[in-house]
């Protein structure tokens, strides 16, 4: 049976973290969003406020609804504010070393029954689960950029994940009106296993002079119906993140 989730902690307010926090708040959850310093936190919260203002402007939500969503998000630079979260989702830099260091600290602070989830694009979920004292309550929740728009969340079960934690994560993603697709803890899960080699091949095609960057992108948009060409998509994901995934 799924655990009850009321308060969600999000670690990292960057490209993915700010979107994950916004989606959770829009779905009615109380959110604690943690960043390393006040300036980075303000940047992430600023992005959320901009998106909410745009949604109000476009009449997708009322001013009052926008204000309520914003009020559900509490920003912090301290892990201690996460202590009573029911679910903690990490969306920090794609570095195993940094993630392990962070989980070791967070695990000491957050209540023992809380579920932990990583938004990693490609690292093994089990490696992170294993440094916590709660490997059975550890899963992957993989969102796609922009998290506010993309329907999919891959829900990753690692060898230690309990049925209850996995069910909790599936239910949570569904409660955000996402398409929750269960998958295994295999490199790249479903989407990045297919999408990352595709983006790399686009770079190789460019190197071989098969087409200019504009032509390769235009070809895939017009020929395969993709919303973005692979090279634009690689920039959109971030070449730093793409590099980490490939490594």
The residues annotated as belonging to the active site are: 121, 142, 154, 192
CA dist., res. 89 & res. 106, Å (int): 11
Q: Between 132 and 192, name the residue whose CB sits nearer to ligand CAA.
A: 192
Residue 180 Cβ vs ligand CAA, minimum distance, rounded to whole Å:
15
Residue 238 Cβ vs ligand CAA, minimum distance, rounded to whole Å:
8
CB atoms within 10 A of CB 28: 12
Q: Residue written as tokens 């398409």?
A: 179
CA dist., res. 56 & res. 71, Å (int): 15
Residues in CB range of 195: below 8 A, 6 or more apart: 188, 233
Residue 117 Cβ vs ligand CAA, minimum distance, rounded to whole Å:
14
Residue 231 Cβ vs ligand CAA, minimum distance, rounded to whole Å:
12
Instruction: Assess contact for 142 and 196: CB atoms under 8 A.
Output: no
CB atoms within 10 A of CB 80: 10
Structure tokens at 173: 């993603």
Instruction: Assess contact for 19 and 146: CB atoms under 8 A.
Output: yes
Residue 153 Cβ vs ligand CAA, minimum distance, rounded to whole Å:
11
Q: Between 114 and 237, name the residue whose CB sits nearer to ligand CAA.
A: 237
Q: Residue written as tokens 């998290």?
A: 147
Q: Residue 38's closest CA among 11, 90, 72, 75? A: 75
SS3 110: coil
Q: Between 3 and 183, name the residue whose CB sits nearer to ligand CAA.
A: 183
Q: Between 138 and 144, name the residue whose CB sits nearer to ligand CAA.
A: 144
CB atoms within 10 A of CB 9: 30
Q: DSSP code of 93?
A: -
Which parts of this chain interact with ligand CAA (CB under 6 A)? 51, 58, 60, 121, 144-146, 148-150, 192, 195, 227-228, 233, 237, 241
SS3 152: strand
Q: Between 98 and 228, name the residue whose CB sits nearer to ligand CAA.
A: 228
Q: Between 3 and 148, name the residue whose CB sits nearer to ligand CAA.
A: 148
Residue 228 Cβ vs ligand CAA, minimum distance, rounded to whole Å:
4
């Amino acid at each position: 049976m799924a655990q009850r989730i009321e308060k969600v902690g999000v670690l990292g307010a960057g490209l993915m973290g700010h979107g994950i926090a916004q989606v959770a708040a829009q779905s009615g959850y109380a959110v604690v969003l943690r960043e390393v310093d006040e300036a980075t936190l303000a940047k992430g919260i600023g992005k959320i406020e901009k998106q909410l203002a745009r949604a109000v402007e476009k009449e997708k939500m009322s001013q009052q609804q926008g204000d309520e969503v914003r009020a559900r998000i509490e920003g912090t630079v301290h892990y201690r504010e996460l202590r009573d979260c029911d679910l903690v989702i990490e969306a920090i830099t794609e570095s195993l070393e940094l993630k392990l260091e962070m989980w070791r600290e967070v695990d000491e602070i957050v209540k023992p029954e809380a579920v932990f989830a990583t938004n990693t694009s490609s690292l093994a979920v089990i490696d992170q689960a294993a440094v916590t004292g709660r490997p059975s309550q550890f899963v992957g929740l993989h969102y796609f950029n922009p998290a506010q728009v993309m329907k999919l969340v891959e829900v990753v079960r690692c060898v230690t994940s309990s049925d209850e934690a996995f069910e909790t994560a599936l239910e949570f993603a569904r409660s955000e009106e996402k398409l929750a697709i269960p998958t295994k803890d295999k490199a790249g899960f479903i989407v990045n296993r297919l999408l990352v080699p595709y983006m790399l091949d686009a770079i190789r095609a460019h190197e071989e002079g098969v087409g200019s960057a504009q032509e390769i992108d235009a070809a895939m948009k017009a020929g395969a119906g993709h919303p973005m060409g692979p090279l634009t998509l690689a920039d959109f994901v971030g070449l730093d993140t793409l590099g980490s995934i490939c490594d």
